[in-house]
Amino acid sequence: MKVNLDIIHEASMKILKETGMKFHHPEVLKMIEQKGVRVSGKTAFFTENQIMEWIKKAPGDFTVYARNPKYNMRIGGDHTEYVPGYGSPAIVDIHGVKRLALYCDYINFLKIVHQSDYFKMNGGILVQPADLRAVNSYPVMLYSTVTHSDKCILGGPGGDRETRMVMDMLGIIFGGKDNLIEKPRIMTIISTLSPLQIDKDTLDTLMIYARHGQPVIISPTPMAGTTAPVTLAGAIALANSEALAGIAVTQIINEGTPVMYGFQTTTADMKTGSIAMGSPERALCIAYGARLAKFYGIPSRGGGTDNDALCVSVQSGYESMMTMLVTCQEKVNLIIHSAGIIAGFAAMSYEQFIVDLEIIGMINRFIKGVQINEETLALDVIKKVGPGGEFITSPHTLKYCRNEPWTPEISIRGTLEDKDPAESLFFNIKKKKEKLLSAYRKPEFPADVHSELISYLNGKGFDLNMATLQQR
CB 424 within 8 A of CB 101: no
CATH number reported for the structural domain that contains residue 302 in this entry: 3.20.20.480
Q: Do residues 388 and 329 both lie within one domain?
A: no
If asked whether residues 190 and 327 sit together in one domain, one would say yes
- pLDDT, residue 1, reads 65
Q: What integer pLDDT is reported at residue 469 of this predicted model?
A: 47
DSSP strand pairing (90-92 vs 61-64): unpaired
Residues 92 and 213 in one domain: yes
* CB-CB contact of 18 with 241 (8 Å): no
Whether the bond between 446 and the residue before it is cis, its omega within 30 degrees of 0, is no
Calpha distance 286→239 (Å, rounded): 12
Q: Are residues 234 and 293 in the same domain?
A: yes
Total number of domains constituting the chain: 2
235 and 220 share a domain? Answer: yes
Same domain flag for 152 and 108: yes
Residues 217 and 282 occupy one common structural domain: yes
Task: Clarify whether residues 234 and 383 are in a common domain.
Answer: no
Those residues of the chain that have pLDDT short of 70 are 1, 465-472
pLDDT recorded at residue 3:
77
Q: Is 56 inside any structural domain?
A: no
> 160 and 258 in one domain?
yes
The contacts of residue 406 (CB under 8 Å, 6+ apart) are 361, 362, 365
Looking at the structure, tell me whether residues 223 and 264 fall in a common domain: yes
- 377 and 357 in a common domain: no
pLDDT for 287 equals 97
Q: Looking at residue 304, what is its pLDDT? A: 96
- What is the span of the domain harbouring residue 381? 371-407
At residue 463, the pLDDT reads: 72
Res 75: pLDDT: 98
* 92, amino acid identity: V
Structural domain contains residue 378: yes
Determine the pLDDT at residue 415. 82
Q: How far apart are CA 297 and CA 382, in angstroms?
A: 46
In this predicted model, what pLDDT tens digit does every residue of 423-442 receive, in sequence order?
999 999 999 999 999 999 99
- What pLDDT does 249 receive? 98
For residues 152 and 211, state if they share a domain: yes
What confidence score (pLDDT) does residue 467 get?
37
